[in-house]
Amino acid sequence: MLRYAVAYIVTVVVFLGLDFVWLTRVALGMYRRELGDLILEQPNLLIAGVFYLLFCAGVVVLAIHPALNGGSWVNALLLGAVLGLVAYGTYDITNLSTLRGWSLTVSLTDLAWGTVVTAVSATAGYFAVTLLRL
């Protein structure tokens, strides 16, 4: 159980850290430019927190756990990438198909980001467990 707690904590810290930099330093201008009034002035941090905690649990169960049980860091990376692509794809493609004013640029950028950040976070969680020999 300790191994999954460590994997979860590291995954949350890495995912949150990378996403914070992404959202505040890299992509915010693009989101505002492309989505305009759809973007809140201030995000709802409670709801965002629920997403991060839930999503990172999914990363542990669907990417890190299989990699720890007979796989390798490559499995964690690839399964994380697939999970990120599917999860962010569900959000972005649904928005693209149902919301007036949703941006193709945002969807494609967000799909790429979700794939990368999830893959990196899953790999970090995997390495934390293996390096600590848990």
Q: 10 Å Cβ neighbour count for 96?
A: 15
Enter the tokens of residue 7. 């994997």
- Number of domains the chain is built from: 1
DSSP category for residue 36:
G
How do residues 22-48 score in pLDDT, each as one tens digit? Answer: 999 999 999 999 999 999 999 999 999
Q: According to the model, what pLDDT value does residue 46 have?
A: 98
Q: 10 Å Cβ neighbour count for 70?
A: 7
What confidence category does residue 17 fall into, taking pLDDT thresholds of 50, 70 and 90?
Answer: very high
pTM over 0.75? The answer is yes
Contact 20, 43 (CB under 8 A): no
109: containing domain:
2-131
